[in-house]
Chain A
Amino acid sequence: QSVLTQPPSVSAAPGQKVTISCSGSNSNIESNFVSWYQLVPGTAPKLLIYDNDKRPSGIPDRFSGSKSATSATLGITGLQTGDEADYYCGTWDTSLRAGVFGGGTKLTVL
């Protein structure tokens, strides 16, 4: 059971928008920065969002992040078939003194 809770799957049509939620607690999401990752089988995990809402260079502005209290959200607009992947949120848990991840969300672009 993951410390952070994500929906197992989401889906939308090409060109549409999707959001992925990440729910935690005051010892992790509320107290620390949240990151989001894209995992494609056979490739290294890619950082999409760091510090709640910042994009690394090279990540298109179709990807966005936000945080409110104990929850964080990843938004993806203008969906493309190449966006099909697993997405994970991650942060630090101050009480556990450990890194924590969500269980992952599989995005299907119909």
Chain B
Amino acid sequence: EVQLVESGGGLVKPGGSLRLSCAASGFTFSSYSMNWVRQAPGKGLEWVSLISGTGTYIYYADSVKGRFTISRNNAKNTLYLQMNSLRAEDTAMYYCARGTLYKSPDYWGQGTLVTVSS
């Protein structure tokens, strides 16, 4: 059974940093691209970033480019999102989601909540 478990969310002040993790199990992690997708309170889904299985290809939404960094450790079956220079508008539930390069994700985790507030 595919399982994706996010962690690392919490309350952070504007300008602060946070690192999210996503522990994957139930599939060959290195064979799949992985995404981060977020949903702000009362808003729709917003794709954040994608990393290919080997980490060769990485893409970001314009809204986070230069501030967020996606990475993965295939030996640990773990996906990461380093978030720097956080803004109030980054407040959202962050989902880790398995995918294939250039396609929308299939399996999603339950999400971890990030709140940026002073």
Interface residues of A (CB under 8 A from B): 2, 32-35, 37, 39, 43-47, 50-51, 56, 88, 90-92, 94, 97-104
List 12 additional A-B contacts (Cβ < 8 Å) besides A47-B107, A50-B103, A51-B103. A37-B104, A44-B108, A44-B111, A47-B105, A88-B44, A88-B45, A92-B103, A99-B37, A99-B47, A99-B50, A100-B47, A101-B46
Alpha-carbon distance A37/B97, docked complex (angstroms): 12
Q: Which residue of A lies closest to B107 (CB)?
A: A47
Q: Which B23-63 residues have C-beta < 8 A from chain A? A: 35, 37, 39, 44-47, 50, 59-62
Residue contact A56 to B106, C-beta cutoff 8 Å? yes
Alpha-carbon distance A46/B104, docked complex (angstroms): 12
Q: Which residue of A lies closest to B46 (CB)?
A: A101
Q: Does B95 contact A (CB under 8 A)?
A: yes
Interface residues of B (CB under 8 A from A): 35, 37, 39, 44-47, 50, 59-62, 95, 97, 102-111
Residue contact B50 to A103, C-beta cutoff 8 Å? no
Task: Answer whether A50 and B44 are a contact pair too, CB < 8 Å, given A44-B110, A44-B111.
Answer: no
Residue contact A97 to B59, C-beta cutoff 8 Å? yes
B26 to chain A, nearest CB (A): 14
Residue contact A98 to B61, C-beta cutoff 8 Å? yes
Residue contact A45 to B44, C-beta cutoff 8 Å? no
Residue contact A104 to B44, C-beta cutoff 8 Å? yes
A95 to chain B, nearest CB (A): 12
Contacts of B97 in A (CB 8 A): 45
Alpha-carbon distance A92/B33, docked complex (angstroms): 13
A33 to chain B, nearest CB (A): 5
Q: Which residue of A lies closest to B99 (CB)?
A: A99
Alpha-carbon distance A56/B104, docked complex (angstroms): 14
Residue contact B110 to A33, C-beta cutoff 8 Å? no
Q: Which residue of B lies closest to A34 (CB)?
A: B104
